[in-house]
Structure 1
Amino acid sequence: MAVAFDYKAPLSNKILTNGFSFVLRTVGPVPAAFDIDAFGAEVRSAFQSGISLWTSSMKDIEARLSPDLRKFLDGRTSRSSNGYSLFIPPQVIRLACPQSATFVVELGFDDEELFPKFPLVLARAKIEGRTIALNMRAFQCFRSEFKFDANKRLSFQLDDGCINLVPIMAHELGHAFGLNHFDDAATHALMDSQFSRDALAPTERDTLALAAVLEQSIVGATPGVLRFVSSSGVRPPADWAGFPPN
């Protein structure tokens, strides 16, 4: 079930809607042991966590945002008579019918054009679009874990060796809304082209940049369109010592 769900766009950037839906699309032969339904649940969880990270980060600096953005956040805040409030990010559902979905998540099992062996990237997305591609060719295990450590950081690699899909989806959603890579040597951010372990969730710089693009008049590409104006891909942290690509 999804709460306060619809496809209306509350801001000038029409990629942000009051509810998101996606379908999975595979490219290349799918391994026989691959459970696409189980993986779809991981993608949905990571997609929802990514949306929650972005919208909650805006909620944290609400006083610095424009009236339109504050109105959007206020409209998603439920208040009780005894003074409690609950912020409800836009909800995410997975669909089976591509004609109804607002996003396509492509699983690239064999796509040398999109995911060459070098440089090794985790995912790519259409900038100002509605398509995200995961590099299933080189990385065999993605899993969603929305949990922070004692230093309030997300993990990149999980205890079972899988890569955390949450920061990947959050990064690629940033591209979908219209953000490019930052890559400022002086500071780390979620939208850098290479992950840093201290910036696997939106920083203040990320959040202010997102707030700016959400107020731009952006229609965005239709779901399923990825080539041409796509991101160059996000790379694992420099100190990551995972398995080499196949």
Structure 2
Amino acid sequence: MRARFTWRQTLLGLTFAGVVGQCLGFSFGAAEEAVAIAPPILDEAPKAGSETVVFAGGCFWGVQGVFQHVKGVKSAVSGYAGGTADSASYERVSEGDTGHAEAVKVTFDPTQVSYGSLLQIYFSVAHNPTELNRQGPDTGPQYRSAIFAQSTEQRAVAQAYIAQLDAAHAFSKPIVTTLETYNGFYPAEDYHQDFLTEHPTYPYIVINDLPKVAQLKQLYPERYSHKPVLVKEGL
């Protein structure tokens, strides 16, 4: 099957070839606006140790960048979830038929930030949960909004929160985020890790993702960490 490369893939290749300037990105629309929402009524009980959850919400560059700036997050790794190991590569996932979504595995300390607080940031800042199989300029099921819960408790909290937000009409449209069975997470290629931090002038980042980090700081200053937790610093 011939790969169907997205405009983001094409631009990415050109950028690394050194022939794309920042101005090219301004024809691709504007960043999604964050939405101030109430915290979840139901949350997990505090517990010792680390916990993980996998969030999918469009391009993983921005989702990773947001969670890397959240206090209590120990790591945020870009990757693929929902499909199988043999198709877990950027080129294959971009075809849109692998079952994978671009996703971020977030490891956090529940004594510093609760799962419910991460959900609040995920829904209000990291992406728009009302867009079906797309996010901003990116379209296809690989850019869907999905939570791959790691436990029945995580799933129940997320389900209750979606119902809470929909009942409160927190968004202008219903939430389309799916709660999917976790069947593995596959880290993305090295060049995708820490992309927002390493390429702050890349047009896609400037337009779509840096505003998300700014909105995180504005809406949740008590949750914001100026220094991101980077994948490559932990290698």
Same fold (TM over 0.5): no
Instruction: Please classify the TM superposition score into its range, dividing by the shorter chain length.
Output: under 0.3
The structure with the greater share of residues assigned to helix is: 2
Q: TM-score, normalised by structure 1?
A: 0.22
Rg: which structure is higher? 1
Q: Which has the higher contact order (CA 8 A, sep 6+)?
A: 2
Superposition TM-score, scaled by structure 2 size: 0.23
